[in-house]
């Protein structure tokens, strides 16, 4: 084990009294995490019988909330944002159907911003509710602040003709500033109705979550704060259970996290140790409040680099993404040839939801890679092929999945053969429908009329058009039919994981030769997918295969999915900035550092919320001349939201660069923009080289 000497400041942080609140702060690479771990080791050594909680990320403090609620006889089962968003959409269903009594009574006008697009409105409303819960704001408090903010703003409107405001507003939206008192009054009424609608949805969400006993971590934290305030004895019992709390990456903590710690450990946070970069938060637009978490806490600022800071830096721009991806693959291969271990190479993007081009370039030159972060493994083409086979077992009349299997590499039917399978049998006397006494293959899938399933599904299951197929196509279809028969038996007789492995091992074509990079990546993806399917089965013991697949289908369409980084030393890591937190690499590559990718474009939500101004709707609806509201144009200019967003993206870029111990390479493609809407980080870096 390599011994590391602590700096005087790190030693001071480690030796600080445990009874007091301590914040170990400093820029990336100054050794905050190492000092925190040394402090934990000291606590465990001095108090071997005492319990403590170590949260590698503030989100892990939800454990405190769960235990607090369970002790009070209110056990909660957690579910993630994907499932929560779907549940929220169901709660919003009566709103979109205009079934609320307020609409019929005329006390609410449905002509509010965003409501004409129900799916978009529900998604925006859910994002707002998430932020409100992160800030521990209740539905009643939200409505009061929204109404108060609207009254104050419209009673004392700003000067919409001010030159600075006009200059800060894009040409396309300057017409939103041309308003008279009548138009402002009309926008005020719309805003009030929007606030009431959102408050009611918010209240329904909180009540439904409590009634079902299923919450997201942020919901559990918000409820635990209320409980701790109402029952000081419960908070004291939790403080006695965990006399010490150690929190890393504290700059990403929400206001709700701070309030939960205060409810248990008091305003002074006695017994709490925080570690983080006070100026390095990269999720403030998602609710992080570094100003709140470090408030009134003694800080020990680490200033000396814990790992080498004189890293070799280079920046290069390529004509297009194809050239950039190919150059990345060659550069990574060169690092491997020079003896750098795969696990010591990090390829970091702002977001990894669309990095298939770069992943494929690395795989094509024989480099195994694993993607971690905001990637949707359910939407990966390899995962879709695997899910298609499971759909074929459960419901062969989901023709979209069946056609995917028939076109796939394992069966590989031509378009002509698939067209034959979609046709009527050569013998027109051959029954295409199930006889009255015949059990349809989709009966267990709960389809409302299984006898309506004709042609492709029946032809594959029964073989009624086999004679019309070419010999090689007929053999492949017959093999699939035979395998499916065995899979149906396995579904009933084998454990879920064993059944799924059998289907995939027998029905999927391997990508690449055994042991190749593409084969290893495919196997890693399937292991990750199976683990996610098993999570659903564990949390829903009575679920059928159809339920599992329906959940997978929901997740494939969500933009809230994410995956933990793979822990395999054979793989080069492709990570989002958030997934790279706390990790370091010998060499770091930051591709796609161009405007719109890193940094991402700033796209304001359909409506914003400010404790001071209340609701800020973006869309101006009804009898309006401008597409945006005057309040929205004023707010984004007054608060400089785009500038704040770009500053956060810049912090994320700097954080990604500081993940490198020896070398960092930044690349981009295409021509650089002027940097007026979003900065060009690669060009900014070039000026410092």
> Which H or E element spans position 78?
strand 77-78
Q: Is the pLDDT of residue 452 over 80?
A: no
Lowest mean pLDDT among 102-116, 346-360, 363-377: 102-116
Q: For the chain, give the percent of residues with pLDDT over 70.
A: 93
Measured CA to CA, the distance from residue 638 to residue 535 in angstroms comes to 45
- Residue 398's contacts (CB-CB under 8 Å, 6 or more residues apart) are 391
DSSP 113: T
Question: For the segment 171-188, what is each residue's pLDDT rounded down to a tens digit?
Answer: 999 999 999 999 999 999
| 17 HSE (CA, 13 A, CB side) | 6
Q: Is the pLDDT of residue 143 over 50?
A: yes
Q: Is the pLDDT of residue 2 over 60?
A: no
* C-beta separation of 254 from 217 below 8 A: no
Confidence at residue 96, expressed as pLDDT on a 0 to 100 scale = 81
Measured CA to CA, the distance from residue 27 to residue 558 in angstroms comes to 34
pLDDT band at 464 (very low <50, low <70, confident <90, very high): confident
Q: What is the mean pLDDT of residues 48-66?
A: 94
Q: Say yes or no: domain 8-77+216-302 is CATH 3.40.50.300.
A: yes
Fold for the domain defined by 312-377+566-604+640-686? Rossmann fold (3.40.50)
Question: For the segment 257-282, what is each residue's pLDDT rounded down to a tens digit?
Answer: 999 999 999 999 999 999 999 888 99
Question: For the segment 44-54, what is each residue's pLDDT rounded down to a tens digit?
Answer: 999 999 999 99
Q: Is the pLDDT of residue 559 over 70?
A: yes
Measured CA to CA, the distance from residue 412 to residue 433 in angstroms comes to 27
pTM: 0.90
Same fold, 312-377+566-604+640-686 and 379-556: no
> Which H or E element spans position 375?
none
Domain ranges in the chain are 8-77+216-302, 86-211, 312-377+566-604+640-686, 379-556
Measured CA to CA, the distance from residue 192 to residue 585 in angstroms comes to 51
pLDDT band at 144 (very low <50, low <70, confident <90, very high): very high
Residues linked to residue 617 through DSSP beta bridges, in sequence order: 607
Q: Residue by residue, what is the 3-state secondary structure of 184-229?
A: HHHHHHHHHHHHHHHHHHHHHHHHHHHHHCEECHHHHHHHHHHHHH
What does CATH list as the number for 379-556? 1.10.486.10
Q: Is the pLDDT of residue 32 over 80?
A: yes
Q: Is the pLDDT of residue 437 over 50?
A: no
* C-beta separation of 18 from 269 below 8 A: no
């Amino acid at each position: 084990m390599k011994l590391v000497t602590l700096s005087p400041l790190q030693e001071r942080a480690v030796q600080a009294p445990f009874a007091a609140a301590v914040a170990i702060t400093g820029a990336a690479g100054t050794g905050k995490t190492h000092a925190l771990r040394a402090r934990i080791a000291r606590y465990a050594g001095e108090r071997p019988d005492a319990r403590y909680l170590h949260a590698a990320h503030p989100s892990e403090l939800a454990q405190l909330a769960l235990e607090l609620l369970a002790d009070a006889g209110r056990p909660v089962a957690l579910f993630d944002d994907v499932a929560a968003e779907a549940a929220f959409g169901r709660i919003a269903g009566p709103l979109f159907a205009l079934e609320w009594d307020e609409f019929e009574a005329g006390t609410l006008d449905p002509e509010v911003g965003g409501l004409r697009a129900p799916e978009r409105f529900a998604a925006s409303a859910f994002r707002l509710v998430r932020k409100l819960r992160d800030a521990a704001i209740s539905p009643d408090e939200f409505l009061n602040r929204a109404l108060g903010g609207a009254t104050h703003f419209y009673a004392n409107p700003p000067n919409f003709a001010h030159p600075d405001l006009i200059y800060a507003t894009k040409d396309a939206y300057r017409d939103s500033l041309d308003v008279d008192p009548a138009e402002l009054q009309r926008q005020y009424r719309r805003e009030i109705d929007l606030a009431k609608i959102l408050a009611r949805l918010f209240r329904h969400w909180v009540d439904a979550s409590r009634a079902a006993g299923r919450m997201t971590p942020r919901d559990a934290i918000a409820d635990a704060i209320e409980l701790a305030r109402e029952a000081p004895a419960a908070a004291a019992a939790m403080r006695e259970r965990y006399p010490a709390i150690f929190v890393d990456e504290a700059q990403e903590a929400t206001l709700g996290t701070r309030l939960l710690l205060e409810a248990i450990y008091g305003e002074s946070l006695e017994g709490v140790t925080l570690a983080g970069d006070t100026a390095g938060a990269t999720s403030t637009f998602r609710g992080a409040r570094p100003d709140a978490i470090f408030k009134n806490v003694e800080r020990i600022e680490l200033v000396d680099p814990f790992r080498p800071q004189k890293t070799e830096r280079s920046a290069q721009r390529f004509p297009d993404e194809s050239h950039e991806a190919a150059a990345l693959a060659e550069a990574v291969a060169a690092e491997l040839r020079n003896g750098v271990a795969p696990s010591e190479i990090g390829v970091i993007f702002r977001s990894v939801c669309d990095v298939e081009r770069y992943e494929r370039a690395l795989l094509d030159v024989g480099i195994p890679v694993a993607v971690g972060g905001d990637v949707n493994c359910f939407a990966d083409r390899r995962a879709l092929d695997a899910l298609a086979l499971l759909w074929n077992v459960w419901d062969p009349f989901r023709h979209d999945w069946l056609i995917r299997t028939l076109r796939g590499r394992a069966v590989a039917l031509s378009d002509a053969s698939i067209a034959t399978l979609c046709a009527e049998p050569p013998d027109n006397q051959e029954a295409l429908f199930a006889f009255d006494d015949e059990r349809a293959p989709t009966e267990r899938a709960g389809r409302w009329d299984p006898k309506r399933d004709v042609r492709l599904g029946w032809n594959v299951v029964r073989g009624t058009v086999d004679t019309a197929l070419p010999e090689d196509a007929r053999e492949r279809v017959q093999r699939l039919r035979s395998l499916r028969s065995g899979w149906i038996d396995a579904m009933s007789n084998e454990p879920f994981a064993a059944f799924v492995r059998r289907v995939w091992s027998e029905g999927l074509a391997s990508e690449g030769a055994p042991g190749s990079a593409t084969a290893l990546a495919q196997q890693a993806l399937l292991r990750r997918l199976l683990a996610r399917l098993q999570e659903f089965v564990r949390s829903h013991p009575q679920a059928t295969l159809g339920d599992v697949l329906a959940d997978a289908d929901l997740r494939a369409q969500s933009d809230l999915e994410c995956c933990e980084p793979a822990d395999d030393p054979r793989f080069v890591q492709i990570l989002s900035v958030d997934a790279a937190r706390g990790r370091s690499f010998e060499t770091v590559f930051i591709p796609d550092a161009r405007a719109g990718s890193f940094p991402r474009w700033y796209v304001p939500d359909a409506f914003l919320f400010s404790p001071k101004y209340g609701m800020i709707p973006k869309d101006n609806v009804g009898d309006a001349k401008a597409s945006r509201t005057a309040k929205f144009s004023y707010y984004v200019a007054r608060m400089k939201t785009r500038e704040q967003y770009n500053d956060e993206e810049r912090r994320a870029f700097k954080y990604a660069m500081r993940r490198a111990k020896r070398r960092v390479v930044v690349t981009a493609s295409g021509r650089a923009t002027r940097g007026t809407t979003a900065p060009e980080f690669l060009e900014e870096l070039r000026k410092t080289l």
